[in-house]
Every structure is written in structure tokens, then in C-alpha cells.
Structure 1
């Protein structure tokens, strides 16, 4: 029997200090579709997402990240990961089917960075009401129904003040991620890594930040749109709604177009994302960036990420 594998990024669970503002932002401005509401938790997805949800929102005293969910390649992988992680001394919590609406049996555990991951395989695909359903049989909802209207959930970016090498090793050796691009400091230590289990340049980015207010933080979640014009249209929509943003611009790392905006309820940053490149080479060599090249890696052209105060804002991960 081979090693268990993760197939893709699934969802994030966010707590917000102002649920009304967050729902307005994600449903009306970003344009996500709400699939369900259970016990005060709202479940949303983009028009091209297929599983039950890619984002959950619930009210709390402050904004923070509860966990990041990943779907495995096979049902058996969930229990195999549980066994392998427990053998390595990792504290794993088992969740029965339905503990998270729309998701089957799952496990949760903390990375060395102290971020919580959830792994599962079984998912529900809620039926879509006729007036919201796309005529395309291979698409969930009508595109462009409201707001920015991104196609799908893309990636997450997390920061940690812990020994970041331990997290890189954990993702590579225990969970099967591949390092695609990375940034080293003057001493040659990796301080940022873009990693994936898919052909994307990154499903998750992990950055070392020694002076964080808490050890585990979320920098942003990302939704992907089809092309550059979608990002320019998003800028118009955000401006019309009086929302501050960073961008548009283009990253050197990943080569993708970006625009960053903050959820006014939770403080969660959202990256609206398009372009980039895919990796199909089985012998891909991770691309190394140095501190001298960092500015180019962050911003190939356009509105600079590094120069903006908003870039330093993160929310806690518990």
C-alpha cells in the first residue's frame, strides 16, 4: 500500500468579530454563493467550486482562523494519515461524518507552526436552485451573478514565528507537499516557501515572521479568476463599494496577477488572483530567490505589496 496523499486545498474556517459585515463582503462584494447555514455558521463557495463549501464564517469576539481543510485523494487516506501522524507523535483528533456540515469523517492536527489542518475525503455537493444554476453541466452556478465573482478557491498564505524549517519538513515529509519556489535570507536559511500538492505553484505559502503577536497567523486566502480583465473589473467593484485595496500588480514568484483586499468584518485579507504558471515536470527543481531579489519576487510590476502598510496585517490562527 502506498503513502496516503492530499489531493487539493478544500476550505478555510474563519471566525469574524462582525458577521454581518463579513457576509456582506463575501456574498455581495466578492460574490460567493451561500450553500448552507447551520447553528450560526455560514458556508460559502465560488461559482466554480464543487464541494459543499470553501469558506465558513461564524461570529466571535475577534477575527481568527480556526482551521484549513484539505481533501485527500482516497477515502482510505484519512485513516492512513491518522495512523502515520500518530506514529510520529502528532496529536490527532478524529471527527465523525457531519461534524463539519458537508464533509465526511475527518482528522485535525496542528503543524509545527501551530496552524490547524483538517483532512477528509467524502464531501457533499449541494443541489443548486434552478434560478442560480448554470446551464453548463460542468459548472455549479451562473458566472458573474454578483460582485467580483471569482471562479474557485486557490491557496492560503500562513505566517509563523516558530522554527519554520520544522513546518517545511512536516509538509514535505509527512503530508507530501512539494517545494516549488523559496526565499532565503543572508545566512542561506529558507524564510518563505511556496508549496503544493497540485500543479499550482502553491496551494500554501509558509513564511517565517519572528516578531508576530502570536506564533500562528493567517496572511491571506485567495480566490482565482479567469483572466487579468477580471482583476481590473474587481478593482472597479471594490472602489465603488468604498473598499481600500492593494494592486493590481504582478508577482515575480508565481508570475500571477494580484489584488489584495481586507474583509471589514474579520480582518482576513483576500487575494484576488489570476494567471501564473502550472508545473507538470516530475523533476521540477525548486526556484531559489535571495533577499536581494525579494522585491522583484514580490512585485514584478504594479502596485507594490511590500510598500503598503496593509501587508503587515495578519489574523490569529488557533
Structure 2
């Protein structure tokens, strides 16, 4: 049995938005995401690279941040909220439940809120982001797999049912699920008009398993594999 879904949540999350990663080698990571996956650089400096898919107008869906001291890791997974006032409602909602919530300044975004879910997954909420031209018909810009837009995240959690219930309270619905007997092992949840924004799989967590971009054609996936072989 799946936990209930709140169809009128206290604040309105609309979709998966962006992910922040730390990387040990910014140049090599940039090379992979640009030449293998085909993402576009929106802005960059010596320590940070902001990337987006070809069909994305928002400034970034992936942020690479240099950290020479340790292995790459996920810093935050981001969700977009509908209105700026939803951020204030979210701040109050998390604080009332004893969960972390703090305001931060992030380049190229409007007001930004850092929160965490009950198992400690670091989340980032924003309502606005600077825009850049979409490049989905600028075929001269195409490289690698021609990644179009960020689609979803998959995370690990020690108890899938409990975390599914938490995100259900935030209005996330289930498109599919995995169970064994009466135990929920996997929940595939969405807010935007596709089947998935967040997948939760039972395992040691919190941890980010992967984030995924859509491509236009199935052969683009094979192109990414070919490019990865060349780069390797």
C-alpha cells in the first residue's frame, strides 16, 4: 500500500530544477558534460561551471563546484516552486517540523532556500532563475548525446515508505512503485507533467544514485557511449 498524497500541499513544488555537484577536476568534469552529454555552458569561472540542456531556457540545471580536497559528491538537489511566496511557506513548514531551513544567496537565482528532508537529503528551493536562449534548434551547438533537459533524480533511503509519505505530503504523486510482499521498495514520484521527478529506492542513505537528462532519440544514448569511449 502506498502512503496518502496531499493534493493541496502547503507550498507548491512544480518540478525538478537543478543539481549541485562537487568535482575534483573541474576541467575534466566540464569536458565530460559538454562533449559526452552535450550540455551547454551558461557561465563559468575558475571554480564553478553552470550548465544547461539544449532545450532549457533557465540558466542552469547542473552546477559543478571545484573541491580538490575530496571525491565528487552531490551537494544539493534542487526543486522549483511556483511563486516566490511559496518559499516563505516552505520555510515556515520545514521549521515547524524541526527540519533545517535557511536562506542563502546563490548566483543566477532569485531567493533561495536550503532545506533537508527527514533523512538528511540536502534540498534547494527557488522560484526564479535567470534565462538564456534555448539552443534546441541551434544544431551547430550540438555535441555528444544532445542532452535536452533535466528530467529526474534517484535517491537512496533507509525506509522508502516513510520518505515516500514525506514527499506525498508535499504533493508528489506516484506513477509507479516496487514492492515485495507488503514492503515498499521503490517509489517513482512526480510533480511536473511527466512520470518522474524523484525516485526513492530502499538502500543505505541518504545518497544520490543518479540524475537523468532526456534526449530526443534513442540513438543519442549510443552516441554518448561512443563519445565516452573516445574521451576515455
Task: Give the TM-score of the pair, scaled to structure 1.
Answer: 0.65
When residues 45 and 119 of structure 1 are mapped into structure 2, their CA distance, relative to the original with a 3 A threshold, is same
CA offsets 1:24-81 (integer angstroms, 9 cap, x no match): 1111221211111256111111111111100011122211100011111122111111
Offset of residue 207 of structure 1:
0.7
- The residue that corresponds to 1:90 in the other structure is 99
Verify: 1:77 aligned to 2:86, yes or no: yes
- The residue that corresponds to 2:184 in the other structure is 190
Q: Which of 1 and 2 has higher RCO (CA within 8 Å, sep 6+)?
A: 2
- The residue that corresponds to 1:147 in the other structure is 144
Task: Give the TM-score of the pair, scaled to structure 2.
Answer: 0.88
Offset of residue 119 of structure 1:
0.9
- The residue that corresponds to 1:172 in the other structure is 168
Offset of residue 88 of structure 1:
2.2
- The residue that corresponds to 1:107 in the other structure is 113
When residues 198 and 59 of structure 1 are mapped into structure 2, their CA distance, relative to the original with a 3 A threshold, is same
Offset of residue 236 of structure 1:
2.9
Is the CA contact (8 Å cut-off) linking 1:151 and 1:225 kept in structure 2? yes
- The residue that corresponds to 1:120 in the other structure is 126
Q: Distance in 1 between matches of 2:163 and 2:39?
A: 31
When residues 157 and 57 of structure 1 are mapped into structure 2, their CA distance, relative to the original with a 3 A threshold, is same
* RMSD after superposition: 2.1
- The residue that corresponds to 1:241 in the other structure is 231
Aligned 1:1-318 pairs, distance under 5 A: 3-38=10-45, 40-60=47-67, 61-95=70-104, 99-126=105-132, 134=135, 139=136, 142=139, 145-161=142-158, 163-173=159-169, 175-186=170-181, 188-209=182-203, 212=204, 215-242=205-232
Offset of residue 166 of structure 1:
2.4
SS at match of 1:47: coil
SS at match of 1:240: helix
Q: Distance in 2 between matches of 1:48 and 1:73?
A: 20
Is the CA contact (8 Å cut-off) linking 1:112 and 1:166 kept in structure 2? no
Q: Please list every run of 5 or more consecutive structure 2 residues that lacks an aligned counterpart in the other structure.
A: 1-7
SS at match of 1:235: helix
CA offsets 1:275-305 (integer angstroms, 9 cap, x no match): xxxxxxxxxxxxxxxxxxxxxxxxxxxxxxx
SS at match of 1:180: strand
Is the CA contact (8 Å cut-off) linking 1:47 and 1:142 kept in structure 2? no
Larger radius of gyration: 1
Q: Distance in 2 between matches of 1:116 and 1:140?
A: 35
Q: Distance in 2 between matches of 1:140 and 1:7?
A: 26
